[in-house]
Amino acid sequence: MEKAKYSYKYPHPSVTTDCVIFGFDGSRLKVLLVERGVEPFKGKWALPGGFLRMDESAEQGALRELQEETGLKTAYIKQFHTFTDPDRDPRERVITIAYYALVRLQDVVAGDDAARAGWFSLDEVPSLAFDHDRILRTAIQEIRRQIHFEPVGFELLPPEFTVKELQLLYEAILDVKFDRRNFYKKMQHLELLTQVKTSAQERRQPFLFRFNAAKYSELKQKGFRLEF
């Protein structure tokens, strides 16, 4: 068997990374899916992913996948679960280390992969290949949990944004509604936002803000909680 160059005394599973890439279009949370070009599940939509290389960590692998699909070299990514069901891949034993990524849609460029790719609203996601439905559901759960401890929302917005945009994002992620005025005051009180000075503001426009990273890391050290 010429091709099988790597031999082990005991069987080893294959290891992949899968990446749940989230974006925000201004009103809804989106997820990036790719269409499978090969069997199994050929023609079905799936999460971007691939085999882990022997010289890279799983995080590096996930970042590599991310760049292949979105052109982004950096992004917020977080490992959230490893899926190990022995039968999750019909071909052979494959375990996958799953990450979710938060990207700014406007920064994304079309992937150079041949595979067809597309952004789907969370309530329009089709049935996915392998156990990717479950992986996606778990990712949504995790991002909803994470949002209480970290301002994950900011990773999905452009550098400058209005409070209304931020609120829409939080509502999209958590699938709830907030009172506009209370949300505004809470953000003011947290002091996480810095108002952008717009010198020549002829027309009355909503204030633009930036995320105050210094204040955030200070709060995080003390152990804060974003209540919603």
> Is-contact 20 98, C-beta < 8 A?
yes
Sole binder of DNA in the list 14, 182, 218, 220 (CB under 7 A):
182
Contacts by residues 153-158 (CB-CB < 8 Å, ≥ 24 positions apart)? 154/211, 155/75, 155/76, 155/102, 155/103, 155/104, 156/22, 156/23, 156/24, 156/102, 156/103, 156/104, 157/24, 157/104, 157/211, 158/104, 158/106
Q: Give the largest Cα separation in the chain, rounded.
A: 75
Q: Smallest distance, Å, CB 202 to a second copy?
A: 45
Size of the site for a second copy (CB under 8 A): 33
Give the C-alpha separation, 48 to 135, whole Å. 12
Q: Smallest distance, Å, CB 10 to a second copy?
A: 7
Give the C-alpha separation, 224 to 221, whole Å. 8
Q: Which does 198 bind (CB under 5 to 8 A by kind): a second copy, DNA, none?
A: none
Residue given tokens 């269409």 in the structure block: 35
Per CB under 7 A, 227 contacts DNA: yes
Within residues 148-207, the interface with a second copy by CB under 8 A covers 149
Per CB under 8 A, 135 contacts a second copy: no
Within residues 73-92, the interface with a second copy by CB under 8 A covers 79, 81-82, 84-86
Sole binder of DNA in the list 42, 116, 145, 185 (CB under 7 A):
185
**DSSP classification of residue 114:** S
If you write DSSP's letter for every residue of 143-162 in order, what string do you get?
HHHHTTTS-GGGGGS-SSB-
Q: Which does 11 bind (CB under 5 to 8 A by kind): a second copy, DNA, none?
A: a second copy
Binding mask 133-172 for DNA (x = CB under 7 A): -----------------------------xxx--------
Nearby residues of 124 by Cβ (< 8 Å), 6 or more positions away: none
User: Which C-beta is closer to DNA: that of 5 or that of 203?
Assistant: 203
Binding mask 7-26 for a second copy (x = CB under 8 A): xxxxxxxxx-----------
Interface residues with a second copy (CB under 8 A) are: 1, 3-15, 51-52, 54-59, 79, 81-82, 84-86, 93, 95, 97, 145, 149
